[in-house]
Amino acid sequence: MHTARRNTPADRAAAAAPPPPLPPWGPSERTRLAAALRDDDGARGPWDLVVVGAGITGAGIARDAALRGLRVLVLEASDLAFGTSSRSSRLIHGGVRYLEQGEVGLVYEALRERTRLYKTASHLVSPADFLFPAYAGDRLPLWKLRVGLALYDALSLYQSRHRTVDPAGARAREPLLADDGLRGAVIYEDAVTDDARLTLTTLQSARRYGAEILTYARVEGLGRDDAGLWVRLAGGTLVRAHKVVVAAGPWTSERLLGETGKHLLALSKGIHLVMRARDVPVRQPLVVQVRGTKRIVFVVPWGSRTYLGTTDSAYEGDPGASGVDEADYAELFPLIRRVLPSAPLERGRVVSAWSGVRPLVRSGPPKPGSSTVNISRRHRLVENADGVVALVGGKLTTYRAMAKEAVDHVAKALRAADPERTIPRCTTHRLPLVPGAPLTAEELRDDPLLADLAPRHGPEARVLAERAQAHPELAGRLVDDLPYRWVEVDQAIRFEGTWHLDDILRRRLPLALTDARHGAGVARRIAERLVDARGGSGRDVDAEIDRYRDLLRRETGYDLNDAAG
């Protein structure tokens, strides 16, 4: 059980201080940082901390360290949230099924972190009632679900309580449910999120407090010499650091950690399918048992869309190249069709899809044919002989707590090297990711533009709305039936660290996943604005379109010009 520590006057003063404004983060800022690192002659001395990886784990570490006053640099081989952090099930949850595996501590930690995210990221983490039906023949009958959810309630310190409904009550809550064999359902609270936006917003907060972030900067090697730790980038740039933390998710390997990285991770592929809400009009997130295994899958409403997922299969190869194939459709559709028999679950009805690779911590060397379903979702902090630290495994929900553990470890090492140095305690559990007064119901009701922007930008949406009102060409929607506005393209280019077209269409505004044309109607106009901001020609615009088309096809299986029926 975790106990709260008393805050010092310095902690309280830091929490009360007004946050710095959101700094620009456009192509020119990236170019300047890359040049500064390349030309650095060591005059500024080593960085306190270099973080390798700009997924949610690296973002959490960077924010925590920057808030404690450390000089932080984040290096990322692709775009921020390129891997698992934009390819999850988009849920902030305690993990009901982990109770079966005896992972009570993990569930408690996740539920505690869920509560904290309600407060610090309220516009990105929204509570929802999950409906978990039980059918005759299911591995978990209704009585076992009730027992498990009673423990779940207790571990959340009764901040939410489950309810049980009979078959009629379950179908009243969700008319699409199959009636045959239905024994009832439990209703419990968890939360939904935007995983890529949560990562971005965490990194923006880190930048407010001085962290520097360089994307598209592949780390080729890590090591130690007589001068200390070094990080070598593609192209030969050498960066010096007092401490290095690898937060590269499924890319964590022997290449970065040497022998320590050998057999460290098991990779698990999960895919999700996106459909129109009118085809699968579920009223709340639905949990479906997979018979014969300990797996569950979800059906989750997402505005004018609904997504289904996830699979859980062992994966080998480049984590960024996992895609969706016909076998994935053949696996997932029947699992959902069993409980939603009237939904038109057909390949031609799917709008888009995504595929992600989970990095799971092994307990030993891999065994041929072994399943990833029962591997723990716990994280591990490891350190190699050179003093390079890696944070591996874990869950999206617990990223902040994982980051705190890593930064505590770094702070201890820095204080050991310099006993005179004072490093404050962690404050990320109480400081909001986006400062400012929450948007009110009246503001959202009276301003459709603000209502569209609020779920992604929180209080910062007021700034975007004012900009759009001053420049009406920025106020329109990119696609009629989706809530994304042109002012968000402007924001993505100027303040959200974008460099390529897919950064915008996949991770800032996910048209690749939600638009039936996958952004084809606006891709060229957005590419022209992006290339104009970073410098380039019409040939560069064409290259961006080609790059996006290739990445879209690789991950989703769709072409840029495909359209769902």
- CA–CA distance, 444 with 446 (Å, rounded to integer): 6
Q: Sorting pLDDT into bands at 50, 70 and 90, what band is 7?
A: very low
Q: Sorting pLDDT into bands at 50, 70 and 90, what band is 365?
A: low
SS3 per residue for 32-65: HHHHHHHHCCCCCCCEEEEEECCCHHHHHHHHHH
CA distances for 443 relative to 151, 411, 448, 465, angstroms:
39, 42, 9, 11
The percent of residues above 70 in pLDDT, for the chain, comes to: 93
Is residue 378 over pLDDT 90?
Answer: no
**The predicted structure's pLDDT at residue 565:** 39
pLDDT tens readout for residues 74-131: 999 999 999 999 999 999 999 998 998 889 999 999 999 999 999 999 999 999 999 9
pLDDT tens readout for residues 456-471: 999 999 999 999 999 9
Residue 457 structure tokens = 């930008």
- CA–CA distance, 96 with 98 (Å, rounded to integer): 5
- CA–CA distance, 225 with 5 (Å, rounded to integer): 38
Tell me how far the alpha carbon of residue 366 is from its chain's centroid: 27
Do 224 and 105 contact (CB within 8 A), yes or no?
no
Q: What is the mean pLDDT of residues 201-222?
A: 98
| Residues in a beta bridge with 165 | 185
Residue with tokens 């402007």, as numbered in its chain: 490
Q: Sorting pLDDT into bands at 50, 70 and 90, what band is 27?
A: very high
- CA–CA distance, 508 with 200 (Å, rounded to integer): 8
Q: What is the mean pLDDT of residues 404-429?
A: 97
**The predicted structure's pLDDT at residue 5:** 38
The amino acid at residue 263 is: H
Burial 203-221 (b: 16+ CB within 10 A, else e): bbbbbbbebbbbbbbebee
Q: Sorting pLDDT into bands at 50, 70 and 90, what band is 18?
A: confident
Q: Sorting pLDDT into bands at 50, 70 and 90, what band is 72?
A: very high
Do 211 and 153 contact (CB within 8 A), yes or no?
no
Is residue 6 over pLDDT 60?
Answer: no
| Residues in a beta bridge with 307 | 274, 300
Q: Is the peptide bond before 310 cis (omega within 30 degrees of 0)?
A: yes
Q: What is 117-159 written as a DSSP string? A: HHHHSTTTEEEEEEEEEEETT-SS-HHHHHHHHHHHHHHTTTS
Is residue 368 over pLDDT 90?
Answer: no
Q: Bigger pLDDT: 560 or 199?
A: 199
CB atoms inside a 10 Å sphere around CB 132: 23
Task: Label the pairing between strands 47-52 and 238-246.
Answer: parallel
**The predicted structure's pLDDT at residue 101:** 84
Q: What is the mean pLDDT of residues 148-176?
A: 97
Q: What is the mean pLDDT of residues 542-549?
A: 97
- CA–CA distance, 463 with 494 (Å, rounded to integer): 13
Do 287 and 131 contact (CB within 8 A), yes or no?
yes
Is residue 370 over pLDDT 80?
Answer: no
Report all structural domains of the chain as residue ranges with CATH numbers, in order of start: 1-11+47-90+194-265+375-435 (3.50.50.60), 128-191+266-361 (3.30.9.10), 441-556 (1.10.8.870)
Q: What is the mean pLDDT of residues 346-368?
A: 85
